[in-house]
Amino acid sequence: MRFSRLLVPTTKETPNDATLASHIFLIRGGFIQSVGGSGLYNFLPLGKKVLDRVRSVVKEELDNAGCQEVSLSFVTPASLWEESGRYEKYGKELLRFKDRKDNEFVLGPTHEEMMVNLVRQSVKSYKQLPLNLYQINLKFRDEIRPRFGLMRGREFLMKDGYSFHTDEADMKREFDLMEETYKKIFTRLGLEFRVVEADSGAIGGSGSKEFMVLADSGEDTIVVCDGCDYGANIEAAVRQEKQCDAPAPQLENEKVHTPDASTMEELALFFNVDPFYLVKTVAMRALYDEGKSQIVLFALRGSDELQEVKACNAVDANELVEVSEEELEAAGLVPGFMAPFDTPKEVRVIVDTTLKGATNMICGANEKGYHTTGNTIEGDFAYRDIVSVQEGDACAKCGGTLRYTKGIEAGHIFQLGTRYSEPLGCTFLDENGKAKPMVMGTYGIGVSRLLAAIIEQHHDEKGCIWTKESAPFDLYIMVSNIKDKAQLALGEEVYIALQSAGIDVLFDDRKDRFGAKMKDYELIGIPHAVIIGKKLSDGLVEFVTREGMVKEEVSAEEIVSFVQERLC
RNA sequence: CGGAGUGUAGCGCAGUCUGGUAGCGCACCUGGUUUGGGACCAGGGGGUCGAAGGUUCGAGUCCUUUCACUCCGACCA
């Protein structure tokens, strides 16, 4: 491709809304263009090329693993979402609309329902299973706050795959195969990543793993172990049960007047104990379908923090919101002095598992200004893991030290089970002619987000540094001064020779000066460049590696074979 | 949805306080010079100042309403 014919509107200035390197360089390098609406982008020729290359890596590896590509309608009937029960649950992120006949539709944010619908219509026998179908298509989610360019757009390109099995064991086999396949994909794209345990979120199902591209700018906090390969999203991370060296308060079971102490810090000071021996009671309102809600008290140790996603899952709610003191009082609770015991009937109580059987605990007395000491946590509570792992906690797997790091969620794989096949009636007949729901897995990769992730990991202060398999072109050739006949002639010759050798070349034949062209090269970030310039009079050209901007002088006569060797 | 801010040429911004010919830089077009780190000179094109209403002889500027976007938070496969 000749640069003079390519639409690459590079800019010197940074768009005022861009803060992340990937956002800045993708816009400045003329890869993408903001549509003006938030979270919507056009892909310009260069961006489209990168997208296609990334997409083909994904496709190749999936096809190798035995997956089959399909393409599902982007517009999906609302009735399918009602069947699965997600029409309500998915909330405002679903963009709903009606056609001229007043039928309701949804722009697909994910396609479990659609794929299950496809399969239930065409697969009836165990002989047709297993099956792994995927597509690489647009998705639309009406995000509350899109940001960071391609990182969190409203419209985005996603690879979504769905597998169908006769039993759990076969689904797990496929799940493991997909984990390996995803590792190959991210490795080929040149990404440093970590596979972590994750929360299953709105998709539902049991085990799930996320593929986190490590980057400080990542939106997710992940917990990793210094001692082993354990890694988990903060929303799903677990730890070894915490011990406390400080002595337990040896106090009778009695009511104590604590007028000014309602926070954990104040209480710890008042009783002179470690917060480990305090019961923290956090009140939240759990929201359910059809506007139903309930106040829930979460009881945990004073030394722990509530992990909201875990808490939300523990009560199977759509979401948790804060409750005002007035609401609490109206429900018969005493803010600041609540206990998980003797609560009003309509209030639900969840107790952290590490509190089960705990003795000598101090907690609220359900009376303003009073706490009780010497409590033992026992009885019929719903015990769940609802606490957040903190840095420095011990790894449940090896005892090593856990710490936080940031990641970009680039892929997520789920063991779904029958979460969708059952409500949607996606069944098969087994060897005995008995109908059973198919066991499913689902596997996603944020393809357009990967572009942003690659740049987050591979850039310098000057611009992008694309990896070998993601680069828009394999090589950039610059003719420093196109009025110099010798330079131009060599450029043309090398360009044609390398093109016909199967190398995808961007040939910069523009009239601009050296500096301007160099800036563009650095911004666009093609892995290698050949610069034909002044030294041609000595029979020399330069071979540049974008990473580190390493320049090597090469004889002009040998440049074609030199490049071929270096690029293979 | 809470808090803060911004809407003026394709992009980045000034002008708004104190009403009086709509400006600057980049980009773009023409001609010339220039060609190893975002060149220079000369000329040129491009705007319902987010929208609606109001005050005024006169509104980018003042008043009212409204819409959109951005940032922080909440939220989020």
- pLDDT tens-place string over residues A238-262: 999 888 888 888 888 889 998 877 6
Amino acid A67: pLDDT: 98
Is A308 exposed, middle or buried (CB count within 10 Å of its CB: 0-12, 13-18, 19+)? middle
Give residue A96's pLDDT.
Answer: 87
CA atom of A452 to C1′ atom of B46, Å: 34
Q: Which residue has the higher pLDDT, A203 or A423?
A: A423
CA of A481: nucleotide with nearest C1': B35
Residue A206: pLDDT above 70?
Answer: no
Residue closest to A393 by CA, chosen among A508, A517, A540, A243: A243
Least confident of A16-20, A229-233, A537-541: A16-20
Through-space separation of residue A219 CA and nucleotide B72 C1' in angstroms: 15
Q: Which nucleotide is nearest to A146 (CA to C1')?
A: B76
A233 and A119 inside one domain: yes
Of A87-101, A201-215, A429-443, the least confident? A201-215
Q: pLDDT band at residue A223, thresholds of 50, 70 and 90?
A: very high
Domain membership of residue A13 (yes or no) is yes
pLDDT at A313: 85
Q: Are residues A416 and A503 in the same domain?
A: no
Residue A390 lies in a domain: no
Span CA (A15) to C1' (B46), Å? 21
Percent of chain A with pLDDT over 90: 63
- Which residues are CB-contacts of A563 (< 8 A; sequence separation ≥ 6)? A475, A494, A498, A503, A528, A530, A543
Q: Is residue A465 part of a domain?
A: no
The protein residue nearest B12 (Cα–C1') is A13
Most confident of A38-42, A213-217, A369-373, A544-548: A544-548
The more confidently predicted of residues A206 and A116 is A116
Q: Is the pLDDT of residue A492 over 90?
A: yes
Same-domain pairing of A420 and A371: no
Residue A262 confidence (pLDDT): 67
Nearest protein residue to B37's C1' (by CA)?
A515
> Which residue range forms the structural domain that includes residue A552?
475-567
pLDDT at A459 over 60: yes
Does any domain span residue A464? no
A175 and A71 in a common domain: yes
Q: Are residues A15 and A96 located together in one domain of the fold?
A: yes
Nucleotide nearest to A19 (CA to C1'): B71
Please name the helix (run of DSSP H) or strand (run of DSSP E) that holds residue A308, with its range, or none: helix A308-314
Closest-lying nucleotide for A532 based on CA to C1': B36
Rounded to a whole number, what is the largest CA-CA distance in chain A?
97
Q: CA-CA distance, A182 to A444, in Å (whole number)?
A: 10
Note the CA–C1' distance, A75 to B67, in angstroms. 28
CA gap A191, A248 in Å, rounded:
48
Query: Residue A559 — very low, low, confident or very high, per pLDDT cuts 50/70/90?
Result: very high
- Band of the pLDDT at A201, cuts 50, 70, 90? low
Both A98 and A234 in one domain: the answer is yes
Q: Identify whether A133 is part of a domain.
A: yes
Mean pLDDT is lowest, of A61-75, A157-171, A368-382, A436-450, for A368-382
**Does A389 reside within a domain?**
no
pLDDT of residue A205: 56
What mean pLDDT is predicted for residues A267-271? 87
**Nearest nt to the A312 alpha carbon by C1':** B75
A225 confidence band (pLDDT: 50, 70, 90)? very high
Distance of C1' in B47 from CA in A12, Å = 23
In this model, does residue A218 exceed pLDDT 90? no
Closest CA to A279 of A254, A259, A299, A295: A299
Q: Are residues A448 and A485 in the same domain?
A: no
Do A417 and A486 fall into the same domain? no
What is the C-alpha to C-alpha distance for residues A466 and A215, in angstroms, rounded to an integer?
16
Instruction: Between A419 and A494, name the one with better pLDDT.
Output: A494
Nearest nt (C1') from A160 Cα: B77
Asked if A92 and A135 sit in the same domain, the reply is: yes
Last residue of a domain, one of A411, A426, A456: A456
Give the nearest nucleotide to A512, CA to C1': B35
pLDDT band for position A469 (50/70/90)?
very high
**Which of the nucleotides in strand B have any atom less than 7 Å away from a protein CB atom?**
1, 11-13, 25-26, 34-39, 68-77
The mean pLDDT of A58-82, rounded to a whole number, is 96
The yes-or-no verdict on residue A94 having pLDDT over 80 is: yes
**pLDDT at residue A465, as a whole number:** 97
Q: What is the average pLDDT value for chain A, to the nearest integer? A: 91
Same domain, residue pair A205 and A134: yes
Distance in angstroms (rounded) separating the CA atoms of residues A372 and A365: 5
Both A199 and A292 in one domain: the answer is: no
Give the least confident one: A27-36, A128-137, A488-497, A551-560. A27-36
Query: Within this chain, do residues A412 and A541 fall inside the same structural domain, yes or no?
Result: no
Indicate the pLDDT class of residue A34, thresholds 50, 70 and 90.
Answer: confident
pLDDT value at A37 more than 70 = no
- Is ipTM > 0.95 here? no
Judge whether A338 and A323 are in contact, CB under 8 Å. no
Q: Is A461 domain-assigned? A: no
Task: State the pLDDT at residue A250.
Answer: 85
Say how many residues make up chain A: 568
Q: Which of these ranges, A177-181, A316-320, A432-436, A484-488, has the smallest mean pLDDT?
A: A316-320
Using DSSP's 3-state secondary structure scheme, residue A208 falls into strand
Q: A186: domain CATH number?
A: 3.30.930.10
CATH code, A500 = 3.40.50.800
Instruction: Collect all residues with Cβ–Cβ distance below 8 Å to A50 and sequence separation of at least 6.
Output: A31, A451, A466, A470, A471, A472
Distance CA A337 to C1' B59 in A = 60
Which letter does DSSP use for residue A507 in this model?
E
pLDDT higher than threshold 60 for residue A441: yes
**Lateral strand order in the sheet of A361-364:** A255-257, A370-375, A361-364
Alpha helices in A29-166 (DSSP H): 45-64, 78-84, 86-89, 112-122
Please report, rounded to whole angstroms, the spatial distance between the CA atom of protein residue A444 and the C1' atom of nucleotide B77. Answer: 8
| Residue where a domain stops, chosen among A456, A485, A501 | A456
Task: Give A553 CA → B35 C1' in Å.
Answer: 21
**Number of folded domains that form chain A:** 3
Residue A20: the pLDDT is 86
Q: Which value, to the nearest 10 degrees, does the dihedral of the CA atoms of residues A247, A223, A298, A302 take?
A: 20
Domain's final residue, options A355, A384, A413: A384
CATH number of the domain bearing residue A314:
3.90.960.10
Confidence of residue A114 (pLDDT cuts 50, 70, 90): very high
pLDDT at A203 exceeding the cut of 60: no
Q: Has residue A155 been placed in a domain?
A: yes
- Tell me which protein residue sits closest to nucleotide B35, measuring alpha carbon to C1': A513
Over residues A166-185, the mean pLDDT reads: 97
Distance A147 CA to B6 C1' (A): 17
